[in-house]
Amino acid sequence: MKRTSGFTVAALSIAALIAMSGCANQGSSGSGDDGSGDRVELPVQDSLEVSPDVVKAAGKGDAKCDSNLTIAYLGAMTGPNAQLGINIYNGAQTAIDEHNKANPDCKVKFKKIDTEGDPAKATGPVAQATKDDNIIGVVGLPFSGESKATGGIFEDNGLVHITPAATNPDLTANGWKTFFRGLGNDTVQGPALVQLVDKLKAEKTCLIEDDSDYGMGLAKVVKEKMGDKLACEDAVTTGQKDFAPTIQKIMDAKADSVIYSGYFAEGAPLDNQLVNKGFDGYFIGPDGVKDTAFVKQAGDAANNAYYTCTCVPGDLIPEFADAFKKVSGGDAPGTYSVEGYDTMTIFLTGIDKGITDRKKMIDYVKDYDGVGYGKTYKWDDKGELEDKAVYGYKTEAGGIVSVGLIE
């Protein structure tokens, strides 16, 4: 995959990753193998070089604007997968704070509206936001299901929104002119999950999906990529607690890796129960699993986990990480924190250039071309981002660390 980002990664090359991982035993013992082979461990990325052209929220510090102008965050602030939303709005809050401190004559308001990440509950909060004429741009919604349920409301009211996290490919097939995706979709992340399996030298993989639009859409891409190479498949449901039937399928297939296509609320107990049944292979999840909440909930079982994410490791950008911790209570940037900052910054630069209404903000975002902390933000005519970088991550020492770009 060709990168168009404005920064380079100061990390080991993929070739080096493969060479180093090849030095380890290439046969992970898996759930059905009595051997004691060593796990392949991909080396940790320890730095990230940011482009000198990165667009920062502070701007020039000379902006003037109406004090009622508002950018909103809409998405989960509570609910089983709320941490993803918290990561995003803390990133957005970091940008707002930076901007308003540097621009005393243009203090933009930031309104946070909770959807709980639930498609059935999101329509009301979105309708509420569209009725507030002071809101001229929205960071959100984080999840694909709620994005699908509310995209028409945004469209009917001419309110532009940039999702920092929703990845279902079908979202840009609706003809919405107000929807923009601040990350690569699942046609990028799905193949990356399969590439990660290959890098870990796993030989038998089971695919487990949840019942969300996100999980099912991503699983479809993985199945298209892997075909009959899958050792088994199964599905779980939102709120499920006991995963015994699924675990039995995985154990019977003698799998040495599991791709879990869904969110961490169910992924964490699945991994925990799987390991407790003797599974010693890899648990590989996408961005919906890549969260410290998964690590906490899965416990020691999470030590078997690798992840993919079209998100940038913000903890490797000291300037951003230090600012972020001031609004997060000391927590390091998490999944899509950088994207929360970058998408908010796009709206703020529009306001700094004199934009005061929704129609002009739509046009501004449509034509935007700038380098963020995380990637280059430029969209095609459907609202898909052209820069589609995917990073690999793994659990280490009770946290999640990057293992670099997956290309």
pLDDT, residue 301, reads 98
At which residue do the structure tokens 């911790």 appear?
325
Full-model pTM: 0.86
314 phi/psi in degrees, rounded to 5: -65, -25
Residue 172 near residue 222, CB atoms below 8 Å: no
How many whole angstroms separate alpha carbon 244 and alpha carbon 113? Answer: 37
Instruction: Answer yes or no: is pLDDT of 35 > 50.
Output: no
Question: What does residue 226 show for φ and ψ, rounded to 5 degrees?
Answer: -95, -30
Tell how many helices (H) and how many strands (E) occur in the chain: 12, 14
C-alpha separations of 336 from 26, 101, 149, 291, 297 in Å: 32, 23, 21, 10, 20
Distance in angstroms (rounded) separating the CA atoms of residues 93 and 391: 24
The pair of structure tokens assigned to 112 is: 């946070």
Please tell me the number of Cα atoms within 13 Å of 250 on its side-chain side. Answer: 30
CA distance 330 to 322: 9
> How far apart are alpha carbons 201 and 216 in whole angstroms?
25
Band of residue 405 on the pLDDT scale cut at 50, 70, 90: very high
Question: Under the phi-then-psi rule, with left for phi > 0, alpha for psi from -120 to 50, and beta for the rest, what region is 106?
Answer: beta
Q: How far apart are CA 355 and CA 116, in angstroms?
A: 30
At residue 388, the pLDDT reads 87
Each residue's pLDDT tens digit, 183-233: 999 999 999 999 999 999 999 999 999 999 999 999 999 999 998 899 999
**Residue 9: per-residue pLDDT:** 36
Rounded distance, CA 108 to CA 300, Å?
Answer: 43
Q: How large is the greatest C-alpha to C-alpha distance in the chain, in angstroms?
A: 68
Mean pLDDT of 81-92: 96
Domains of the chain in sequence order: 14-48+186-312+390-405 (3.40.50.2300), 70-185+314-378 (3.40.50.2300)
Per-residue pLDDT tens over the stretch 108-125: 999 999 999 999 999 999
How many residues does the structure list for the chain? 407
Give the pLDDT mean for 115-136. 97
What is the per-residue pLDDT for 241? 97
Phi, psi of 404 (to 5 degrees): 100, 180
* Structure confidence by residue, pLDDT tens digits, 352-364: 999 999 999 999 9
Q: Please give the structure tokens belonging to residue 398.
A: 């009770």
Confidence band for 329, pLDDT divided at 50, 70 and 90 = very high
Say what percent of the chain tops pLDDT 90: 88
Structure tokens at 164: 């920092």
Average pLDDT in the chain: 91
Per-residue pLDDT reduced to its tens digit, 251-301: 999 999 999 999 999 999 999 999 999 999 999 999 999 999 999 999 999
Residue type for position 339: E
* Cα(72)–Cα(90) distance, integer angstroms: 12
User: What integer pLDDT is reported at residue 76 of this predicted model?
Assistant: 97
pLDDT for residue 49 is more than 70: yes
The per-residue DSSP string of 102-133 comes to H-TT---EEEEEE-TT-HHHHHHHHHHHHT-T
Residue 325 has pLDDT above 60, yes or no: yes
Torsion angle (degrees, nearest 10) of CA 270, 403, 392, 372: 130
Over 80: is that where the pLDDT of 81 sits?
A: yes
Do residues 346 and 96 lie in contact, with contact meaning Cβ atoms separated by under 8 Å?
no
Contacts of 175 (CB under 8 A, 6+ apart): none
Within 8 A by CB and 6+ apart from 367, the residues are none
39: confidence class by pLDDT, cuts 50, 70, 90: confident
The rounded percent of the chain whose pLDDT value lies above 70 is 91
pLDDT of residue 38: 72
- Residue 334: the pLDDT is 94
Q: How far apart are CA 231 and CA 32, in angstroms?
A: 12
Of 234, 189, 191, which Cα lies nearest the Cα of 211?
234
Output the pLDDT for position 12.
Answer: 36
Tell me the per-residue pLDDT of 363-390, one tens digit each, with 9 for 90 and over.
999 999 999 997 999 999 999 999 988 9
Mean pLDDT of 318-326: 98
